[in-house]
Amino acid sequence: MRGNKPHNSVLGLIDWVKGLDDVSIKYVLELGVFSGESTILFAAAFPGVVAVDLWDDIQNMDVITATLDDMREAEQVFRSRMKERKNIIQMRCETVTAIRLLGHAAGLIYVDATHAFSTVKQELNEIKIARLGHRSQYVTAGHDWRHPGVKRAARQHFRREPEFVGTDGSWGYHIQPRPTNGYSDEQPKQSV
Ligand SMILES: C[S@@+](CC[C@H](N)C(=O)[O-])C[C@H]1O[C@@H](n2cnc3c(N)ncnc32)[C@H](O)[C@@H]1O
């Protein structure tokens, strides 16, 4: 799906995230894993990755058309990649379920499941809800910035452009929760 050189892979995003001194990452929550190409790169760069996918025949995907056999094969490749690293947890569930369970403490959340406007919008909203009352800085990122559904959902949700867009289509927003009012966590910190 993508190469592993910085200019055409998720490595550009990883470098950008690592340069953010105020974001501490205990684990990455990756939403949409397929065969784990990006997972293995996250696992090499950060202490842990929770890799979320249904590995099932998903009807509403508008970018990837994969058969059940394709998905089974992708999962096998993912599982063999997992053996290379001991810091990956496989989580077979809906993206929204994973966000509700683990979104509050992930330092980096990587959105790369359906790419449809409505589902990306829902995922971003669930992330925002999961972070309510949590003060730590984090990154919401994803793949396929060129995809209109992704771009529209992110622009509408964050009301600004991403701080990072890589040549592989990865994008990232550095989220700095405001100290007191809890819910307004999607705006950048204002300089004084
Ligand atoms: C584009 S692929 C992920 C590619 C991977 N991040 C990479 O860069 O190599 C999208 C994956 O999202 C999964 N997916 C789609 N909708 C999902 C949902 N609602 N819950 C969980 N996984 C989903 C699909 O099964 C598919 O494997």
Task: Map out the domains of the chain with their CATH numbers.
Answer: 6-175 (3.40.50.150)
Atom of ligand 1 nearest to the CA of 36: 9
- The count of other CB atoms within 10 Å of the CB of residue 83 is 8
- The answer to whether 153 and 122 have CB atoms below 8 angstroms apart is no
Residues 163, 141: Cα–Cα separation, whole Å? 10
Ligand 1 atom 20: the closest Cα is on which residue?
94
- The answer to whether 154 and 165 have CB atoms below 8 angstroms apart is no
- Does the CB atom of residue 32 touch ligand 1 within 6 A? yes
Tens digit of each residue's pLDDT, the chain (192 residues): 555 555 558 999 999 999 999 999 999 999 999 999 999 999 999 999 999 999 998 765 555 567 889 999 999 999 999 998 999 999 999 999 999 999 999 999 999 999 999 999 999 999 999 999 999 999 999 999 999 999 999 999 999 999 999 999 999 999 998 765 444 445 544 444
Residues of 158-182 as b/e, b for ≥16 C-beta within 10 angstroms?
beeebbbbbebbbbbbbbbbeeeee
- Does the CB atom of residue 1 touch ligand 1 within 6 A? yes
- Does the CB atom of residue 78 touch ligand 1 within 6 A? no
Looking at residue 182, what is its pLDDT? Answer: 46
DSSP code per residue over the chain: ---SSGGGSTHHHHHHHHT-TT---S-EEEE--TT-HHHHHHHHHSS-EEEEE--S--TT-SS----HHHHHHHHHHHHHHHTT-SSEEEEES-HHHHHHHHTTT-SEEEE-S---HHHHHHHHHHHHHHTTT----EEEEES-TTSHHHHHHHHHHHSS--SEE-TTS-EEEEE---SSSSS--SSPPPP-
- The count of other CB atoms within 10 Å of the CB of residue 137 is 17
Ligand 1: residue of 112, 123, 143 to mutate (most ligand atoms within 8 A of CB) is: 112
What residues are paired with 91 via a beta bridge?
A: 52
- Does the CB atom of residue 95 touch ligand 1 within 6 A? yes
Looking at residue 5, what is its pLDDT? Answer: 56
